Amino acid sequence: MATNHALREKIRQLPDQPGVYRFLNARGKIIYIGKAKSLRKRVSSYFTSGRKHSHRIEHLLAHIHDLNYTITNSEVEALLLENNLIKTHQPKYNILLKDGKTYPYICIKAERFPRVFSTRTKVPDGSLYFGPYPSVGTMNALLDIIRGLIKVRNCNYHLSRANIQAGKFKICLEYQIGNCAAPCVGKQTEADYMQGIERIKHILRGNLAPVLRELETLMQQAAQNYEFEQAETYRKKLEQIKAYRNRSRVVSEKIRDLEVLTIASEQHLSVVNHFKVQNGAIVQTHAWEIKRTNEEQEEEILLACLEQLLVEDNRLAPALIGNVPLSSSLLPEGIEFSLPRKGDKKHLIELSLKNCKLLLEEKLYKQNFQKRQSQHERMMIELQKALNLPQLPDHIECFDNSNFQGSAPVASVVVFRQGKPAKKDYRHFNIKSVEGPNDFASMKEIVGRRYSRLLKEKQPLPKLVIIDGGKGQLSSAADALRELGLLGQIPLIGIAKRLEEIYAVGDPIPLHIDKKSPALHLIQQLRNEAHRFAITFHRNKRSKAPGQQSNLSRIKGIGPATAHKILSEFRSIKKLKAASPEALESLLGKSKARIIRQAIEKGEI
């Protein structure tokens, strides 16, 4: 699977610690949240080459553009934080990736006198959905608590005002046993019913304190009235809702709503981390990266981030804690700051600061990584040292020529920029002024043509020119540059094939570069590429040569297209004559292969 370079590098730098990771799509939206005992191992496992994934996971991986993460102190905390974040963000792929199961939601239906029920299907009709709930038992316990405290209907009647006034419905058994207040016959007003729905919303959002107090009161009242069975029922519901609350807790039941804002700085970079705590649980995390261009103080940075939070969410908790003191006079109205020294709040600060420092290390490593030399840069630096060049050779050109017994002489130049092939700048040359097999004169012609054109078009000149050949070819190239007034302005070397000797103009003693040196590897890469490019062009030209093709075309039954096809395959008449009957039949078919064999036997070709 393909992953962008930035994502691969971020995955490689993930900490080997427990935490929660979040995959984002190209629009920056969270599409999957997961927990891990080791963030590095878990996230890397998605992108392991050759590993087979289910169709659902493949679909998820195809949409991952970025990721972020939050570290925790234990795997248990990671599990709890994952649960809270999934409830808050409800990512698209979390349900699809749970062992083939679809987890249920609690739905408050978008209708008059809304029903409250469990469902495994989300319908985009304006209804409110809470969940998903990994434990069906926990969800059912919560529904039982809600139905025991608040009377809601479970029928599917259309309770429009007109239907109720027309008396279309009758009181059912649910009213008789006390589970419903019978809004269907007008015994409960819509306003009273909706007050109960609002209470249910608070419960489902985790605001359980009022429910706990009410259950405690009901349990005590039942006990005082000697209704011990009813008191036991309330006690069990009380335990169930406490267990549900504890499953949703990361921090502490002593902590209510709270904002956590910490900062870590190094060099000219700061990272700020934000935790949003509601009812003792972390429900939201966010981090900022700030480049300190003007030596801003950490207090200024934190206040700027706090203002950004207010813009994005005007329901900030009134209590704010952090690791850097903030002046109360600079804080927004209604927010009080404290600097915890111990206890659960101090634990929260340490956890947030831990995330800051890890993210800061990741950012600094990325910056340093970008500054580090690439393999191509090292090769260019080594080449500059080996040849004692005045500039880094980030623009190199290499020439080679090719002919066969003086026929179809051609040449090529290949261009490397930043140590890598720039294939769009490659050029072919047909030799125009040289007759016969004269490599030296051909080299002089193509070097002269190449740089006279660059001068005419005012194009940048290379910082190194390499000639594929020994002293003779090098001398010819030097003559061409001399005539253009460029000799001495452009460094010029030649490489002899046999011993990989490097020759410089005017120096009879060759330079031997260590065969393991990156400098020699770069020269060889250029030489081989120029040779390949020239040979390919030469072969194509020879295959279209009119002399050989016309000989074949004169044979009765062989047209120009077939002649071109034959020369493209065998390259020359000599190789055609040596070809086996099977090779000819495979290429041309039996009929034309027989014609070619007969022409060869008669000496027509």
Give the domain CATH number at 557.
1.10.150.20
Residues 384, 488 within the same domain:
yes
Sequence-separated (6 or more) residues with CB below 8 Å from residue 240: 141, 142, 144, 145
pLDDT at 293 over 60: no
Domain boundary among 38, 63, 89: 89
Q: What is the pLDDT of residues 210-230, one digit of tens each?
A: 778 887 898 999 899 988 888
Residues 522, 554 within the same domain:
no
Residues 17, 121 within the same domain:
no
pLDDT given for residue 95 in this prediction: 47
Q: Residue 107 is encoded by which pair of tokens?
A: 């739905």
Domain annotation covers residue 29: yes
Q: Which residue, among 17, 49, 50, 52, has the nearest Cα to 36 in the 3D structure?
A: 17
* Structure-model confidence comparison of residues 536 and 389, the more confident one: 389
Sequence-separated (6 or more) residues with CB below 8 Å from residue 123: none
* Structure-model confidence comparison of residues 367 and 495, the more confident one: 495
261 contacts 320 by C-beta, under 8 angstroms: yes
Q: Whole-angstrom Cα distance, residue 255 to residue 249? A: 10
Give the domain CATH number at 414.
3.30.420.340
pLDDT given for residue 215 in this prediction: 79
Q: What is the pLDDT of residues 392-423, one digit of tens each?
A: 999 999 998 876 544 567 888 999 999 999 99
Radius of gyration of the chain (CA): 40
Q: Whole-angstrom Cα distance, residue 77 to residue 286? A: 17
Beta-ladder partners of 428: 412
Q: What is the pLDDT of residues 439-490, one digit of tens each?
A: 888 899 999 999 999 999 999 999 999 998 888 899 999 999 999 999 989 9
Residues 134, 224 within the same domain:
yes
| DSSP assignment letter at 100 | T
Q: Whole-angstrom Cα distance, residue 307 to residue 375? A: 44
Could you tell me how many residues make up the chain? 605
Domain annotation covers residue 361: yes
In the block, tokens 């015994």 appear at 187
Q: What is the pLDDT of residues 505-521, one digit of tens each?
A: 888 888 888 888 899 99
Q: Residues of the chain with pLDDT > 90: what percent?
A: 28
pLDDT at 103 over 70: no
In 307-442 the beta strands, taken as DSSP E runs, fall at: 319-322, 336-338, 395-404, 407-417, 420-421, 427-430
Query: Sorting pLDDT into bands at 50, 70 and 90, what band is 100?
Result: very low
Give the domain CATH number at 64.
3.40.1440.10
Burial class (CB in 10 A: 0-12, 13-18, 19+), 197: middle
Residues 165, 213 within the same domain:
yes
11 contacts 44 by C-beta, under 8 angstroms: yes
Q: Which residue, among 51, 197, 181, 184, has the nearest Cα to 110 in the 3D structure?
A: 197
Sheet of strand 30-36: strand arrangement: 30-36, 19-24, 66-71
Residues 361, 291 within the same domain:
yes
Mean per-residue pLDDT, 100-119: 82
End-to-end CA distance of the chain: 54
Domain annotation covers residue 99: no
Give the domain CATH number at 353.
3.30.420
Helix (H, G, I), strand (E, B) or coil at 43: helix
pLDDT given for residue 101 in this prediction: 39
Residues 445, 519 within the same domain:
yes
Domain boundary among 89, 116, 146: 89
pLDDT at 550 over 60: no
Residues 53, 161 within the same domain:
no
Mean per-residue pLDDT, 60-67: 88
Alpha carbon distances (Å) from 66 to 56, 79, 246, 379: 18, 22, 32, 32
Residues 222, 268 within the same domain:
no
pLDDT at 96 over 50: no
pLDDT at 184 over 90: yes
Strand 258-266 relative to strand 420-421, pairing: unpaired
Q: Whole-angstrom Cα distance, residue 513 to residue 255? A: 70
Q: Residue 37 is encoded by which pair of tokens?
A: 């005992």
Alpha carbon distances (Å) from 83 to 35, 246, 400: 9, 12, 66
Helix (H, G, I), strand (E, B) or coil at 551: helix
Q: Residues of the chain with pLDDT > 70: what percent?
A: 85
Q: Whole-angstrom Cα distance, residue 493 to residue 471? A: 9
Q: Residue 40 is encoded by which pair of tokens?
A: 């590095």
Residues 117, 242 within the same domain:
yes
- Which range of residues forms the domain containing residue 132? 105-247
Domain annotation covers residue 252: no
The whole-chain average pLDDT of the chain stands at: 82
Q: Whole-angstrom Cα distance, residue 300 to residue 272? A: 12
Q: Which residue, among 178, 113, 105, has the nearest Cα to 147 in the 3D structure?
A: 178
For the ranges 15-19, 92-96, 598-602, the lowest mean pLDDT is seen at 92-96
Domain annotation covers residue 19: yes
Helix (H, G, I), strand (E, B) or coil at 138: helix
How many domains, in total, are found in the chain?
5
Residues 401, 458 within the same domain:
yes
Domain boundary among 513, 542, 571: 542
pLDDT at 87 over 60: yes
CA 30-34-40 angle, to 5 degrees, is 105
Domain annotation covers residue 98: no
Domain annotation covers residue 96: no
Which range in 142-156, 308-322, 470-484 is most confidently predicted, on average pLDDT? 470-484
Domain annotation covers residue 391: yes
396 contacts 353 by C-beta, under 8 angstroms: no
Residues 389, 529 within the same domain:
yes
Query: Sorting pLDDT into bands at 50, 70 and 90, what band is 185?
Result: very high
